[in-house]
Chain A
Amino acid sequence: MKTPVPVLRLPRGPDHPDSRGFDPSSPRFQALRSTRGGAAAAAAGLPELREEQQARSLLRQRYLRSLLAMRDAQVRFRMYERVHVEARFGASDIDVLNFQVSDLQTPIGVQKEALLRCPDMISYSLEL
C-alpha cells in the first residue's frame, strides 16, 4: 500500500468569489510597479496622482448619490440583444452587479419583482 505524498498545505484560492486579487503589497508588484506604463505616473509624481484620485472619489460619490436618487423612479434599461425594458428602480447591491426593480415591463408581461444583472445592461436612463 503506497503512502500518499504529504503536502505542506493546499493551494490558496481566491478570498471570495468576485475577488480581484493582485495584492499591491506583494514583492513582485512593488518591484515592477515603477515600470507599469506608469513610468509616466512615476515621472509625473504625486500631485497628478492625488488629483486623479480626487476626481475618481468625486465621480464615485456622484454615482452612488445617483443610485440613491433613482429610488422609486421609472427607469428605462437598454440591454444586450436589443432588449429595452422599463421598471421602477429599488436598489443596487454593494458591488453594483444587480439592480432590484419592481413592475418590470417586459414583452411577455409585467414582472412584479425582479433582479436585473448589471453586466447585461448597456445603459439606463430616467428623469429626475
Chain B
Amino acid sequence: CRQRLLTMAMRQTPLTCSGHTRPVVDLAFSGITPYGYFLISACKDGKPMLRQGDTGDWIGTFLGHKGAVWGATLNKEATKAATAAADFTAKVWDAVTGDETLTLAHKHIVKTVHFTQDSIYLLTGGNDKVLRVFDLSKPEADPQEFTGHTSAIKKALWCNSDKQILSAADDKTVRLWDRNTMEVLKTLSFDVSVSSMEYIPDGEILVITYGKTIAFYNALSLELIKTVDAPASIHSASLHPEKDFFVAGGDDFKLYKYDYSTKEELESYKGHFGPVHCVRFSPDGELYASGSEDGTLRLWQTAVGKTYGLWKCVLPEELVSENSDTLYCNTPEIKA
C-alpha cells in the first residue's frame, strides 16, 4: 500500500522539543480531548512542561518545585497535572492555567504520581517506601498509606478500574495491591530492579522493563505473556494502543520499534545524545515521545512519511522535485 511505499522511501525525522536544561526523566500523555492531546515532561531542572501532544509545541511550564521533578502525569482530560519532586512534595496543578492548586508534603523524595480515572484521587510513591492515596477533594485529610515495599518506590499506577494499585520498587518487586483492603494480592520478583512500568487498561496489559528485557504481563493475574530482549539495557518501553508495535529505549541512546506479535525488531533510530529515560506512545498511536539524559524530548512517527502533526507527507512526484518552499527539510543530526 502507499503508506508502506512511503515508509520504505522515507527516513524518520524526529522532532526535537527543546526547553529543558537537564535530563528529562519522565513523560506522560493525556487522553484525547476536544483540544487534541497533551504531553507533560518531568525534568531534573525542576520545571515540568506541558506541550501540545501532536506537535510538541510548548504550552507552559509549571513553576514552583524547588528540586528535580522525577514524575509527572496528566489526567485524561488534561485539565489537571501532577508532579513528583526531590523537594519532598507532590504538586497538583491546573493544566489549563498553569496554577499550582495543591502541594502534598512527603517525608522524602517523591518519584511517581498517578490520577484515578475520575481525577479525584492521586497515588504517590517515592523514597520513603510508602504508597499514598490522597483524596483531592479533601486535601487536609491524611492520605491512605500502603506499606510493604522495602526500598524506594519508582513507579505506582492505578489499575483494574482504579480498584487496584501496581507498584514497582528498588526492592526488585512489583506488587499488586487491593485499594480497599490494602493487602498485597500478588508479587512479582526480579533479579534486578524494574526500570519502568506501563499499564494498558484496554486489554489489561502491563509492560515492564528490566535489564535488557521488555516483558508483557496480564495486569489482572500478573501472568507473563511474553518477553523480548533488546541489544542494550532498556529504561522504558511503551505498547501501541492497537497492540501491534511496542517501542523501547535505554542506555545506547537509541529508540527501538518491535512488532508485538512476532517480537521482530522493525526499526531503530539514533538521535538522542544521551540515554533514553522514558518513551510513550501517544493516545492515538500516531507518534511516540522519548525523553533523554540529553535534556530533550523527541517525537517520532509510528508510520514514517505519513502526514501528521508537523510531518508532511510527500507524494512520489515531490520526492524528486526541487520546488518545496512550504516544506522545511530538517537536516539529520550529525551522527557521533
Chain B contacts of A47 at CB under 8 A? none
Chain B contacts of A3 at CB under 8 A? 9-11, 314, 319
Chain A contacts of B11 at CB under 8 A? 2-5
Interface size class of B (residues with CB under 8 A): 35 or more
Q: Of residues A20, A23, A28, which shows the largest number of chain B Cβ atoms within 10 Å of its Cβ?
A: A28
- Contact status B314-A6, CB under 8 Å: yes
- Contact status B58-A6, CB under 8 Å: no
What's the tally of chain A residues with a CB closer than 8 Å to chain B?
31
Known: A10-B16, A11-B51, A14-B19. A4 touches B61 (CB 8 A): no
- Contact status A11-B310, CB under 8 Å: yes
A11 CA to B287 CA, complexed, in Å = 14
Q: Is residue B66 within 8 Å, beta carbon to beta carbon, of the partner chain?
A: yes
CB distance from B136 to the nearest CB of A (A): 12
Chain A contacts of B304 at CB under 8 A? 5
Q: Is residue A107 within 8 Å, beta carbon to beta carbon, of the partner chain?
A: no
Known: A3-B314, A6-B312. A11 touches B96 (CB 8 A): no
The proximity string for A residues 22-36 relative to B, scoring 1 for CB distances below 8 Å and 0 otherwise, is 111011110111001
CB distance from B35 to the nearest CB of A (A): 4
CB distance from A23 to the nearest CB of B (A): 8
Chain A contacts of B98 at CB under 8 A? 20-22
Chain B contacts of A33 at CB under 8 A? 96-97
Selected from B17, B60, B328, the residue in CB contact (under 8 A) with A9 is B328
User: 6 A-B contacts, Cβ less than 8 Å apart?
Assistant: A5-B12, A11-B57, A11-B299, A12-B57, A22-B59, A119-B66
5 more contacts with CB within 8 A, not counting A3-B314, A12-B58, A28-B35, are A5-B11, A11-B56, A13-B18, A22-B96, A119-B66
